[in-house]
Amino acid sequence: MKITILTLFPEMVEPFFLSSIMKRAVEKGIIEYRIINFRDWAEGVHAKADDIPYGGGAGMVIMPGPISKALDSIEAKGKRVVFPTPSGKLLTEDYAISLSKEDELVFICGHYEGLDQRVIDEYVTDEISIGDYVLSSGETATIVVIDALYRLIDGVIASESLEDESFSKGLLEYPQYTRPYRYCTKSVPDVLLTGHHSHITQWRCDQRLAKTMQNRPDLLSDASLSIEERKRLLSILDQDKRTCQRWILSEL
Ligand code: SAM
C-alpha cells in the first residue's frame, strides 16, 4: 500500500514509520510512504499556510492554497483522500478493514481550528473521527487511523494474531497472561495450564462474553453469537446478577 501524508509537522509523523511493526512492513515493501510538508507550497517570506477564520472566532484555519497545490502535485483527485476530524464518521474495525483493502491512501493532517471547507469539498473522500474528543493535531489522529488499518494487510502480522482480537465477531478480547505463573499474590488461571484445548477455548469464550457485557454491552446486540455462545451468555448472566442488572438498567 502507498501512503502519502500531507502535514505541516513531518517530524510528528516520521517516527511512526521508523519503529516496530511498521518499520518491518516498510522494509518488506508492504508499505511505501511519503510525507509532504505542504508549507513548501506556501508563498511569501513567512510561507504562511494558515489564517484567521472568516466570520470571526478563535484560532487559525489552514488556508486552501498551499494544501491544494500539494494535493494537485500528487494527483490526489480520484484517490481515496482521508481527513481525520472530530466531525467525521467514527473509525471502527470494519471501517479500518475497508481502508486496508486500498492500494493507495492520502491523509491530510489538520491543525489549529481545522481546514478550509473548500479543500474538504474538493478532495476529501473520507472524513474520519477517531473518537468523541478533540485532539490538538491531525498528525496523531492520522497515525491512529494508519495503525488501525495497516496491521490488517496480508503479511504485516501473523493472521492468527487477528483471529480472536477485540471486535472480531463483535466481542472484546479475553484476558492474556504470560510468565511468571505467580506474580505478586496473583496466579494465572489454572485452566490455561491444563493443556486441554477445548477447556481453554471455552474459558476464553466465556471471558470474551463477560468482558463485553461488563465494558461494552452496546456491542452485544450486533455480535454474531452462535446458539452455544448465547446459552453461555445466559449462564454468565445468571452467575453475575449485578452485572446483569447494570446492563438492563443501562438499556432502559
Ligand atoms: N475546530 C475543530 C472542531 O471543533 O471540530 C477541532 C480542531 S482540532 C483542535 C485540530 C485537528 O486535530 C483537526 O483538524 C483534526 O485534524 C484533528 N483532530 C482532533 N480531534 C480529532 C478526532 N477526534 N478525530 C480525528 N481527528 C481529530
Q: Output the pLDDT for position 244.
A: 61
Is the confidence at residue 80, as pLDDT, over 70? yes
- Average of pLDDT values for 49-71? 97
pLDDT by residue (tens digit) across 96-111?
Answer: 999 999 999 999 999 9
Alpha-carbon distance 182 to 190, whole Å?
11
Distance 127 CA to ligand 1 centre (A): 11
Q: Any idea how long the chain is? A: 252
Residue whose CA is at the smallest distance from ligand 1 atom 22? 86
54 known member of a binding site? no
The three grid cell numbers given for residue 139, joined into one nine-digit string? 498528525
Look at phi and psi of residue 247 and say left if phi exceeds 0, alpha if psi is from -120 to 50, else beta: alpha
pTM for the predicted model, two decimal places: 0.92
Q: What is the mean pLDDT of the chain?
A: 94
Distance 134 CA to ligand 1 centre (A): 5
Alpha-carbon distance 34 to 237, whole Å?
50
pLDDT by residue (tens digit) across 183-227?
Answer: 999 999 999 999 999 999 999 999 999 999 889 999 999 998 999
Nearest atom within ligand 1 for CA of residue 109: 16
User: Which residues surround ligand 1 with Cβ inside 6 Å?
Assistant: 84-87, 110-111, 113-114, 129-131, 133-138, 141
Residue 186 burial (CB count, 10 A) = 9
Residue type, 101: K
Is the confidence at residue 150, as pLDDT, over 90? yes
The three grid cell numbers given for residue 92, joined into one nine-digit string? 471502527
Phi, psi of 119 (to 5 degrees): -70, -40
106 known member of a binding site? no
> Is there a contact between 81 and 115 (Cβ–Cβ < 8 Å)?
no
Is the confidence at residue 241, as pLDDT, over 70? no
Is the confidence at residue 76, as pLDDT, over 90? yes
Is the confidence at residue 247, as pLDDT, over 90? no
